[in-house]
Amino acid sequence: MTILVTGATGTVGHQVVEHLVRRGARVRALVRNPAKADFPAGVDIAAGDLLDPASLRPAFSGVSTLFLLNAVVPDEFTQALIALNLAREAGIERLVYLSVIHSDLYVNVPHFAGKFGVERMIEQSGFSATILRPAYFMSNDLTVREAVFGYGVYPMPVGGKGLAMIDPRDISEIAAIELMRRDQASGLLPLERINLVGPDTLTGTDIAAIWSEVLHRPVVYGGDDTAGFEQTLGKFMPGWMAYDMRLMSERFLSDGMIPGTGDVERLTALLGRPLRSYRAFASEIAAAA
């Protein structure tokens, strides 16, 4: 029984591989460049590209369970559909897919809508699947350390509805738990969707207050300027992505990222420990500064 991990060199994917190895799984990691792969001993490394079916067929051969993770890129949707079709072709019936929370609500945001389309294919194709729907990654805020530390401003326009921000380390561990559960089941399990959230739902003001306490100096929330956010992002990322992020932030303002009833309790039980908090994340970053 082999579990194939796509996106294996990224933050979440690499940690998923490590968790699976610690749990005794037989793991194959899909990478574009094997020379740059750095995995625990025993991990089978497969070279492949999600836009190159010929390279994926050998990687998918003999796989029992698939972890599908697609980066936010212009052809993300195409990559995912190719992978799913080839998985069916290879006889893979079990999978865990990393989607996003409120993919069915943020219908105008490109990468949310794309992930919801992938969810629909998974459901209609009859896969035995867990669809993981993570909220905002706490680690996204590593990009604003300079503004927080140097200028006393938390600049992400997250609004006043609140985001149930989650640590990617918790995402990776939950993904590994679900992969093992599906892979080891005696039969095919029904499809499930799981919201991946943190223990607290925080507004922009709440987050600034946490940084103030952690740093022992005032930090203020920078406000809800999504147009300015897009302009700033456009200085170091492609225009399509900056606009995508702006649309996402506008939905933060109008809808938030709110957990469902029982989400926190379900994840706590799954992990067997409390979820990591934003305060703990901020304290860790401050200590390392």
Q: What is the pTM of this model?
A: 0.96
Q: pLDDT tens, position by position, for the chain (289 residues)? A: 899 999 999 999 999 999 999 999 999 999 999 988 899 999 999 999 999 999 999 999 999 999 999 999 999 999 999 999 999 999 999 999 999 999 999 999 999 999 999 999 999 999 999 999 999 999 999 999 999 999 999 999 999 999 999 999 999 999 999 999 999 999 999 999 999 999 999 999 999 999 999 999 999 999 999 999 999 999 999 999 999 999 999 999 999 999 999 999 999 999 999 999 999 999 999 999 8
Q: What is the pLDDT of residue 35?
A: 85
Which two three-digit tokens encode residue 128? 């035995």
Class of residue 265 by CB neighbours under 10 A (exposed 0-12, middle 13-18, buried 19+):
exposed
Task: Please give the Cα distance from 147 to 219 (Å, whole number).
Answer: 10
Q: For the structural domain made of 2-135+167-196+258-275, what CATH number should be given?
A: 3.40.50.720
Sign of CA dihedral 95, 96, 101, 106: negative
User: Roughly how many angstroms between the first and final C-alpha of the chain, as a whole number?
Assistant: 43
Dihedral over alpha carbons 210, 10, 40, 57 (to 10 degrees): 150
Sign of CA dihedral 50, 60, 87, 172: negative
Interior CA angle at 86 toward 46 and 120, to 5°? 120
Q: Are 215 and 184 in contact (CB under 8 A)?
A: no
Class of residue 192 by CB neighbours under 10 A (exposed 0-12, middle 13-18, buried 19+):
middle
Burial track 6-15 (b if 16+ CB lie within 10 A, e otherwise):
bbbbeebbbb
